[in-house]
Protein backbone atom coordinates (compact mmCIF):
# COMPACT_ATOMS: atom_id res chain seq x y z
CA UNK A 1 0.00 0.00 0.00
CA UNK A 2 1.42 3.41 -0.92
CA UNK A 3 1.39 6.05 1.73
CA UNK A 4 -1.16 8.07 -0.19
CA UNK A 5 -3.50 5.08 -0.33
CA UNK A 6 -2.97 4.54 3.38
CA UNK A 7 -3.86 8.09 4.27
CA UNK A 8 -6.82 7.97 1.93
CA UNK A 9 -8.11 4.82 3.57
CA UNK A 10 -7.66 6.40 6.96
CA UNK A 11 -9.61 9.48 5.88
CA UNK A 12 -12.46 7.47 4.40
CA UNK A 13 -12.73 5.37 7.52
CA UNK A 14 -12.62 8.21 9.98
CA UNK A 15 -15.55 9.87 8.28
CA UNK A 16 -17.72 6.86 9.06
CA UNK A 17 -16.39 6.29 12.56
CA UNK A 18 -14.08 8.17 14.86
CA UNK A 19 -12.00 5.12 15.79
CA UNK A 20 -11.24 3.61 12.37
CA UNK A 21 -7.68 4.13 11.21
CA UNK A 22 -6.62 4.78 14.80
CA UNK A 23 -4.13 2.38 16.41
CA UNK A 24 -5.45 -0.62 18.31
CA UNK A 25 -4.45 -0.52 21.98
CA UNK A 26 -4.98 -3.36 24.45
CA UNK A 27 -4.94 -2.60 28.16
CA UNK A 28 -4.58 -5.65 30.39
CA UNK A 29 -2.66 -6.82 33.46
CA UNK A 30 0.99 -7.09 32.43
CA UNK A 31 3.03 -10.28 32.57
CA UNK A 32 0.26 -12.87 32.18
CA UNK A 33 -1.72 -13.99 29.14
CA UNK A 34 -5.11 -14.01 30.93
CA UNK A 35 -8.21 -12.88 29.10
CA UNK A 36 -6.13 -10.32 27.23
CA UNK A 37 -4.60 -13.23 25.29
CA UNK A 38 -7.81 -13.71 23.30
CA UNK A 39 -7.47 -10.16 22.04
CA UNK A 40 -3.74 -10.52 21.34
CA UNK A 41 -4.35 -13.67 19.28
CA UNK A 42 -6.78 -11.83 16.97
CA UNK A 43 -4.12 -9.24 16.23
CA UNK A 44 -1.31 -11.76 15.92
CA UNK A 45 -3.20 -14.20 13.69
CA UNK A 46 -4.02 -11.43 11.23
CA UNK A 47 -0.72 -9.55 11.41
CA UNK A 48 -2.53 -6.47 12.70
CA UNK A 49 -0.33 -3.89 14.45
CA UNK A 50 -1.37 -3.20 18.05
CA UNK A 51 0.06 -1.87 21.25
CA UNK A 52 -0.01 -4.02 24.36
CA UNK A 53 -0.03 -0.90 26.53
CA UNK A 54 0.77 -2.26 29.99
CA UNK A 55 3.43 -4.65 28.71
CA UNK A 56 5.05 -1.90 26.62
CA UNK A 57 6.06 0.10 29.69
CA UNK A 58 5.58 -0.32 33.42
CA UNK A 59 4.56 3.31 33.76
CA UNK A 60 1.56 2.67 31.52
CA UNK A 61 -0.12 0.64 34.25
CA UNK A 62 -1.45 3.91 35.63
CA UNK A 63 -3.67 4.17 32.55
CA UNK A 64 -5.33 0.86 33.33
CA UNK A 65 -5.56 1.64 37.03
CA UNK A 66 -7.33 4.91 36.36
CA UNK A 67 -9.72 3.23 33.89
CA UNK A 68 -10.84 0.62 36.43
CA UNK A 69 -10.83 3.02 39.39
CA UNK A 70 -14.16 3.28 41.16
CA UNK A 71 -13.83 7.03 40.73
CA UNK A 72 -13.97 6.65 36.95
CA UNK A 73 -17.35 7.53 35.49
CA UNK A 74 -16.34 7.17 31.86
CA UNK A 75 -16.56 10.03 29.40
CA UNK A 76 -19.00 11.62 26.99
CA UNK A 77 -19.44 8.45 24.91
CA UNK A 78 -17.87 5.57 26.86
CA UNK A 79 -19.32 4.05 30.03
CA UNK A 80 -16.72 3.34 32.73
CA UNK A 81 -14.74 0.08 32.77
CA UNK A 82 -15.29 -2.54 35.45
CA UNK A 83 -12.39 -4.83 34.59
CA UNK A 84 -9.76 -5.47 31.92
CA UNK A 85 -9.22 -6.36 29.12
CA UNK A 86 -9.99 -2.96 27.63
CA UNK A 87 -9.66 -2.10 23.96
CA UNK A 88 -8.92 1.51 23.04
CA UNK A 89 -9.45 2.35 19.40
CA UNK A 90 -9.30 6.09 18.81
CA UNK A 91 -12.01 7.58 21.00
CA UNK A 92 -13.67 4.25 21.63
CA UNK A 93 -13.11 2.36 24.88
CA UNK A 94 -14.74 -1.03 25.32
CA UNK A 95 -14.35 -3.90 27.75
CA UNK A 96 -15.61 -7.48 28.27
CA UNK A 97 -13.59 -10.04 26.29
CA UNK A 98 -16.39 -11.35 24.03
CA UNK A 99 -17.42 -7.76 23.31
CA UNK A 100 -13.92 -6.77 22.23
CA UNK A 101 -13.74 -9.88 20.03
CA UNK A 102 -17.08 -8.98 18.49
CA UNK A 103 -15.77 -5.52 17.65
CA UNK A 104 -12.51 -6.84 16.20
CA UNK A 105 -14.00 -9.87 14.47
CA UNK A 106 -15.50 -8.13 11.46
CA UNK A 107 -12.70 -5.57 11.22
CA UNK A 108 -9.97 -8.21 11.12
CA UNK A 109 -11.78 -10.71 8.89
CA UNK A 110 -12.25 -13.21 11.73
CA UNK A 111 -16.05 -13.32 11.78
CA UNK A 112 -16.88 -15.58 8.85
CA UNK A 113 -17.41 -15.04 5.15
CA UNK A 114 -18.30 -11.53 3.96
CA UNK A 115 -21.77 -12.26 2.58
CA UNK A 116 -22.87 -14.39 5.54
CA UNK A 117 -24.65 -11.78 7.63
CA UNK A 118 -25.57 -14.18 10.43
CA UNK A 119 -22.06 -15.61 10.74
CA UNK A 120 -21.25 -13.21 13.56
CA UNK A 121 -24.02 -14.70 15.76
CA UNK A 122 -22.74 -18.22 15.24
CA UNK A 123 -19.13 -17.20 15.87
CA UNK A 124 -20.13 -15.18 18.94
CA UNK A 125 -22.13 -18.16 20.29
CA UNK A 126 -19.14 -20.47 19.92
CA UNK A 127 -16.73 -17.97 21.47
CA UNK A 128 -19.05 -17.28 24.43
CA UNK A 129 -19.40 -21.01 25.04
CA UNK A 130 -15.63 -21.58 25.07
CA UNK A 131 -15.02 -18.55 27.30
CA UNK A 132 -17.64 -19.75 29.80
CA UNK A 133 -16.89 -23.45 29.94
CA UNK A 134 -13.15 -23.52 29.29
CA UNK A 135 -12.27 -20.12 30.78
CA UNK A 136 -14.44 -18.79 33.61
CA UNK A 137 -15.23 -22.27 34.94
CA UNK A 138 -11.53 -23.16 34.98
CA UNK A 139 -10.81 -20.06 37.03
CA UNK A 140 -13.53 -21.15 39.44
CA UNK A 141 -11.77 -24.47 40.05
CA UNK A 142 -9.07 -22.65 42.02
CA UNK A 143 -11.38 -19.93 43.33
CA UNK A 144 -14.74 -21.60 43.96
CA UNK A 145 -15.66 -19.53 47.02
CA UNK A 146 -14.14 -16.06 46.81
CA UNK A 147 -12.41 -14.43 43.84
CA UNK A 148 -10.78 -11.92 46.15
CA UNK A 149 -9.29 -14.47 48.58
CA UNK A 150 -6.24 -16.71 48.22
CA UNK A 151 -6.39 -20.20 46.72
CA UNK A 152 -4.79 -21.42 49.94
CA UNK A 153 -7.89 -20.29 51.83
CA UNK A 154 -10.26 -22.37 49.68
CA UNK A 155 -8.25 -25.49 48.93
CA UNK A 156 -10.73 -28.19 50.06
CA UNK A 157 -13.51 -26.55 48.07
CA UNK A 158 -11.19 -26.10 45.08
CA UNK A 159 -10.39 -29.83 45.12
CA UNK A 160 -14.10 -30.72 45.02
CA UNK A 161 -14.79 -28.18 42.31
CA UNK A 162 -11.87 -29.36 40.18
CA UNK A 163 -13.01 -32.99 40.52
CA UNK A 164 -16.45 -32.08 39.27
CA UNK A 165 -15.00 -29.94 36.51
CA UNK A 166 -12.74 -32.71 35.23
CA UNK A 167 -15.38 -35.43 35.55
CA UNK A 168 -18.40 -33.59 34.18
CA UNK A 169 -17.89 -30.14 32.78
CA UNK A 170 -14.67 -30.57 30.78
CA UNK A 171 -15.96 -33.59 28.78
CA UNK A 172 -19.26 -31.77 28.23
CA UNK A 173 -17.59 -28.76 26.63
CA UNK A 174 -14.97 -30.73 24.71
CA UNK A 175 -17.72 -33.02 23.46
CA UNK A 176 -19.75 -30.05 22.27
CA UNK A 177 -16.88 -28.61 20.24
CA UNK A 178 -15.99 -32.04 18.86
CA UNK A 179 -19.59 -32.29 17.63
CA UNK A 180 -19.39 -28.83 16.04
CA UNK A 181 -16.20 -29.87 14.24
CA UNK A 182 -17.65 -33.21 13.11
CA UNK A 183 -20.58 -31.42 11.49
CA UNK A 184 -18.20 -29.02 9.74
CA UNK A 185 -15.97 -31.88 8.61
CA UNK A 186 -18.94 -33.61 6.97
CA UNK A 187 -19.11 -30.54 4.72
CA UNK A 188 -15.36 -30.35 4.22
CA UNK A 189 -14.71 -27.66 6.83
CA UNK A 190 -11.68 -27.74 9.12
CA UNK A 191 -12.68 -24.92 11.44
CA UNK A 192 -15.57 -24.29 13.82
CA UNK A 193 -17.67 -22.28 11.44
CA UNK A 194 -18.09 -21.60 7.75
CA UNK A 195 -14.98 -23.38 6.46
CA UNK A 196 -12.56 -20.64 7.46
CA UNK A 197 -10.75 -19.56 10.60
CA UNK A 198 -12.72 -17.21 12.88
CA UNK A 199 -12.03 -15.75 16.28
CA UNK A 200 -14.01 -18.64 17.79
CA UNK A 201 -11.18 -20.97 16.69
CA UNK A 202 -8.60 -18.69 18.28
CA UNK A 203 -10.59 -18.47 21.52
CA UNK A 204 -11.01 -22.24 21.64
CA UNK A 205 -7.31 -22.75 20.92
CA UNK A 206 -6.27 -20.46 23.75
CA UNK A 207 -8.76 -22.07 26.14
CA UNK A 208 -7.51 -25.57 25.27
CA UNK A 209 -3.94 -24.44 25.69
CA UNK A 210 -4.77 -22.97 29.10
CA UNK A 211 -6.74 -26.00 30.30
CA UNK A 212 -3.88 -28.25 29.15
CA UNK A 213 -1.50 -26.19 31.26
CA UNK A 214 -3.80 -26.31 34.29
CA UNK A 215 -4.78 -29.99 34.05
CA UNK A 216 -2.13 -31.80 31.96
CA UNK A 217 -3.08 -35.26 33.26
CA UNK A 218 -6.80 -34.78 32.76
CA UNK A 219 -6.33 -33.43 29.25
CA UNK A 220 -3.80 -36.16 28.49
CA UNK A 221 -6.37 -38.77 29.46
CA UNK A 222 -9.11 -37.20 27.38
CA UNK A 223 -6.78 -36.96 24.41
CA UNK A 224 -5.89 -40.66 24.70
CA UNK A 225 -9.57 -41.60 24.83
CA UNK A 226 -9.75 -40.78 21.13
CA UNK A 227 -13.14 -39.11 21.59
CA UNK A 228 -11.95 -35.65 20.71
CA UNK A 229 -9.79 -36.26 17.66
CA UNK A 230 -11.09 -33.35 15.62
CA UNK A 231 -10.73 -30.96 18.52
CA UNK A 232 -7.09 -31.79 19.17
CA UNK A 233 -6.45 -31.71 15.42
CA UNK A 234 -7.88 -28.17 15.35
CA UNK A 235 -5.58 -27.29 18.24
CA UNK A 236 -2.53 -28.43 16.23
CA UNK A 237 -3.82 -26.79 13.05
CA UNK A 238 -4.13 -23.38 14.71
CA UNK A 239 -0.79 -23.79 16.47
CA UNK A 240 0.82 -24.51 13.11
CA UNK A 241 -0.42 -21.38 11.34
CA UNK A 242 2.56 -19.25 10.27
CA UNK A 243 1.50 -16.15 12.22
CA UNK A 244 0.65 -18.11 15.35
CA UNK A 245 3.86 -20.12 15.22
CA UNK A 246 5.85 -16.93 14.92
CA UNK A 247 3.94 -15.38 17.81
CA UNK A 248 4.31 -18.39 20.11
CA UNK A 249 8.05 -18.32 19.54
CA UNK A 250 8.31 -14.61 20.28
CA UNK A 251 8.80 -12.80 23.55
CA UNK A 252 5.31 -11.37 23.21
CA UNK A 253 3.81 -14.74 24.20
CA UNK A 254 3.90 -14.90 27.99
CA UNK A 255 3.96 -17.95 30.24
CA UNK A 256 0.99 -18.81 32.41
CA UNK A 257 1.21 -17.46 35.92
CA UNK A 258 -1.29 -16.67 38.64
CA UNK A 259 -4.15 -15.93 36.27
CA UNK A 260 -7.13 -17.90 35.00
CA UNK A 261 -5.06 -20.97 34.16
CA UNK A 262 -2.94 -22.20 37.08
CA UNK A 263 -1.24 -25.51 37.49
CA UNK A 264 -1.86 -26.89 40.97
CA UNK A 265 -0.90 -30.60 40.67
CA UNK A 266 -3.26 -31.48 43.54
CA UNK A 267 -6.25 -30.28 41.48
CA UNK A 268 -5.41 -32.37 38.41
CA UNK A 269 -6.45 -35.99 37.78
CA UNK A 270 -4.50 -38.60 39.69
Backbone angles phi, psi at 87, to 5 degrees: -110, 130
Residue 240 burial (CB count, 10 A): 9
| 182 is a site residue for its own copies (CB under 8 A) | yes
Shortest distance, CB of residue 88 to its own copies, whole angstroms? 12
Contacts 24+ apart (CB under 8 A), 158-161: 158/264, 158/267, 159/266, 159/267
Choice from 50, 151, 176, 264 touching its own copies (CB under 8 A): 176
Contact between 42 and its own copies (CB under 8 A)?
no
Distance from C-alpha of 215 to C-alpha of 142, rounded to nearest angstrom = 12
Size, binding site for its own copies by CB under 8 A? 57
**Helices vs. strands in the chain: H and E counts, helices first:** 13, 4
Rule CB under 8 A: choose which of 23, 31, 79, 195 binds its own copies.
Answer: 79
Residue from 2, 3, 118, 250 in contact with its own copies (CB under 8 A): 118
x-or-dash string of contact with its own copies, 128-167, rule CB under 8 A: xx---x--x---x---xxxxxx-------x--xx--x---
Please say whether the beta carbons of 26 and 52 come within 8 A.
yes
Alpha helices for 108-198 (secondary structure H): 119-131, 137-142, 155-164, 170-185
CB of 20: closest distance to its own copies in angstroms? 10
Among 30, 34, 36, 98, binds its own copies (CB under 8 A): 98
Indicate which single residue of 3, 5, 186, 250 sits in contact with its own copies (rule: CB under 8 A): 186
Contacts of range 187-193, beta carbons closer than 8 Å, 24 or more positions apart:
190/234, 190/237, 191/234, 192/123, 192/126, 192/234, 193/112, 193/119, 193/122, 193/123, 193/126
Is the Cβ of residue 79 or residue 221 nearer to its own copies in the bound state? 79
Q: Is 33 among the residues that bind its own copies (CB under 8 A)?
A: no
Nearest to 266 by CA among 214, 210, 209: 214
The yes or no reply on residue 244 touching its own copies (CB under 8 A) is no
Q: Which of 247, 189, 258 is nearest to 48 (CA)?
A: 247
Give dist(CA 224, CA 139) in Å, integer: 25
Among 49, 76, 255, 266, binds its own copies (CB under 8 A): 76
Tell the smallest beta-carbon distance from residue 40 to its own copies (Å): 19
- 66 counts as binding its own copies under rule CB under 8 A: no
Stretch that binds its own copies, among 48-56, 74-82, 221-229, 260-268 (CB under 8 A): 74-82
Residues in contact with its own copies by CB under 8 A are 16-17, 19, 70, 72-74, 76-80, 82, 92, 94-96, 98-99, 102-103, 117-118, 121-122, 124-126, 128-129, 133, 136, 140, 144-149, 157, 160-161, 164, 168-169, 172-173, 175-176, 179-180, 182-183, 186-187, 192-193
Amino acid sequence: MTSSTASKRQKTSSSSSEGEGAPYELLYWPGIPGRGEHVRLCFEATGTPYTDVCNASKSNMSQLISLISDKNTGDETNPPTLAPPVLRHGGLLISQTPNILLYLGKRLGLAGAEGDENAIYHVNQLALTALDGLGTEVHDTHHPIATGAYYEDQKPEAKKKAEDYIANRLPKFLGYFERVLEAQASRGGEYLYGGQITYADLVLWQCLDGVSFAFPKAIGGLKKSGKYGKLFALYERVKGLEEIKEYLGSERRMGYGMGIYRHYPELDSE
